Structure 1
Amino acid sequence: MRIRSLLTGLIGIALLPAALAAPATAEYKIVTASKSGTYIQIGRDLAKWVAEPAGIDLEVLESKGSAENVHRMRFEQGVKLALVQSDVYQAFLDQAKAGSADAGNIIRPLRLILPLYDEEIYFVARADSPLNSIHEIRNKKLGVGALGSGTALSARTLYQLMFGEPIPAANAQYLNNEEALAALTVDKSIDVAIIVAGQPAKLFTDMKPEARNFIKILKLDEKAPETARVTKTYFPATIRATSYPSWLTADIPTLTIKAYLVTYDYGLQSTVGNLGRFAESLCTNFDKLQANGHPKWKQVKLELPALSQGWRYYPPMEKRLRACISSQTASRVGAFGKATPQAPPQRPCTEQELVLGICNR
């Protein structure tokens, strides 16, 4: 028995250096959106094709959407990455600039990794509704997304831009996508459900041909004066019939907003190293993302454009990405041109603060 114990101990000591040499897998989390949206599929793609090769076990978490993601990115243990709409990110910056200490505390340490793709905005009405265009939603009952979602912020911002006034409180219901469609078609308590999702979105791809008997998507009228007021922040886009061939019979003009991959301004050396490897893997496996991931990856460009004031890239990841992109560009046969140089007291809460989740009443 003694000999066996001694041998076991010796074997353990012999294996110890190898065990110490093996790097531990980092366990990180990314916050996305609802299980029926596009964000969660993008998160799963990043976990499989980027994080795993970089030695990171990336857990993909559901959420209400972009505004909640900003909070969780800032405060939730283990969350190292988030997907955020550009208008939500800018809204936090605007609130901070206007003097909100809470908004400043949340947004200032956050950093961008990469611009992703444009997300389409769906204005869904009942099939028998007299409404046909987006600018006709004034004074209608609206499902504007759940509190804490990017959809809620987008819906409020769009309405304000189009009509010069906020959505009347009595007309706004904060519902998630599935709840909004039920309220629209079953109890008919709302007239329009506003949904933000990159096409093809699972929520709509799962619909059967009979869906066209119950719902329709309102069109963007580019000649309407209301449209001109929103296209400085949001941009014209098309919901393609090929994205939802089971029930959509024609392309629908609409609006869109950009999605970003976001992190925090980490300084801990182990985290800096792990995220640096993630950035390297994102670059080297980008072709796999486009080939095997959600169709939206085909719209993503592996580049780091100049940012608006107050927006910043995360330097350790930016450095790795720029070096990798430059290396790939230089080695690509037939490549032309060079990478473009980049410019380095108590009071009632406002409705926007409530939507953003920074209300301390």
Structure 2
Amino acid sequence: TEPVLRIALLTDADASTQARVATELARQLAPAARVELSVASPPDGTAAWAVTAGPGLALARADALQAARDGGGAALRIVAPMFPEEVHVIVRADSPLNSIQHLKGKRINVGPAAGARARTAARLYEALFAARLPASAAGALPLDAALRQLLDRKGLDAMILVDAQPSAWLAAQRPETL
């Protein structure tokens, strides 16, 4: 039977909860609803991809939609939010940093530059400090590598995690680590 609707789910590589939601939607809901469901990671990390890719509906993160709007042209609008995401600032247990306001001027891992963590961290930093997050202070490591560097005291003061609740990445960490 021909699908009634084409839907593209846009996910970031480091968005484990989002990727799980997309996989479950594709597996459990799409066939019964006669929906052609595709999962894609936009090459530039924004939702602008959805305009040229042609789906009738795209599910994307709010920061990806905002980046598309800021880029000047994605004719997209939010129909409904799917789930809230939390921002976690992770530091070593013995770190003197005890407030998000203490992040100014610190070395912070935010993930790959085109990724959702980096976009969210940049917006948060600008809102807090009325200044852009300096490129020299922003690490681009994946979560596991950033955690290792943070724990080993190798050039990071903090790391940012943006994930839906429950966070699969946080849940996978050993209790003695976090």
Instruction: Specify the TM-score bucket, using the shorter chain as the normaliser.
Output: 0.7 to 0.9
Q: Could you tell me which residue of structure 1 aligns to residue 24 of structure 2?
A: 45
**Aligned-pair identity (%):** 28
How far off is 1:111 after superposition?
Answer: 3.3
How far off is 1:167 after superposition?
Answer: 1.7
How far off is 1:164 after superposition?
Answer: 1.6
1:200 & 1:69 partners in 2: Cα distance? 24
1:189 & 1:38 partners in 2: Cα distance? 28
Match 2:60 to one of 83, 103, 110: 83
Secondary structure in 2 matching 1:194: strand
Give yes or no for the alignment of 1:24 onto 2:10: no
Residue identity matched to 1:104: G
How far off is 1:44 after superposition?
Answer: 1.9
Is the 1:69–1:82 contact (alpha carbons within 8 Å) kept by the matching residues of 2? no
Is the 2:10–2:42 contact (alpha carbons within 8 Å) kept by the matching residues of 1? no
Q: Could you tell me which residue of structure 2 aligns to residue 293 of structure 1?
A: none
| Moved >6 Å (runs of 4+) | none
2:28 & 2:106 partners in 1: Cα distance? 43
Is the 1:28–1:58 contact (alpha carbons within 8 Å) kept by the matching residues of 2? yes
Once the two structures are superposed, the pairs formed by residues 202-281 of structure 1 within 5 Å of their partners are: 202-212=168-178
Q: Which range moves more in the overlay, 141-150 or 28-37?
A: 28-37
2:51 & 2:45 partners in 1: Cα distance? 10
1:52 & 1:91 partners in 2: Cα distance? 31
How far off is 1:155 after superposition?
Answer: 0.8
Q: Could you tell me which residue of structure 2 aligns to residue 104 of structure 1?
A: 72
Q: Could you tell me which residue of structure 2 aligns to residue 173 of structure 1?
A: 139
Q: Could you tell me which residue of structure 1 aligns to residue 122 of structure 2?
A: 156
Residue identity matched to 1:89: L
Q: Could you tell me which residue of structure 1 aligns to residue 155 of structure 2?
A: 189
Secondary structure in 2 matching 1:209: coil
- For structure 2, which runs of at least 5 residues remain unmatched after alignment? none
- Structure having the higher Rg: 1
Secondary structure in 2 matching 1:120: strand
- For structure 1, which runs of at least 5 residues remain unmatched after alignment? 1-22, 96-102, 213-361
Is the 1:64–1:149 contact (alpha carbons within 8 Å) kept by the matching residues of 2? no
Q: Could you tell me which residue of structure 2 aligns to residue 139 of structure 1?
A: 105
How far off is 1:178 after superposition?
Answer: 2.7
Is the 1:125–1:184 contact (alpha carbons within 8 Å) kept by the matching residues of 2? yes
Normalising to structure 1: TM-score of the pair? 0.44
Residue identity matched to 1:154: T
Is the 2:48–2:68 contact (alpha carbons within 8 Å) kept by the matching residues of 1? no
Match 1:56 to one of 5, 29, 35: 35
Q: Could you tell me which residue of structure 2 aligns to residue 335 of structure 1?
A: none
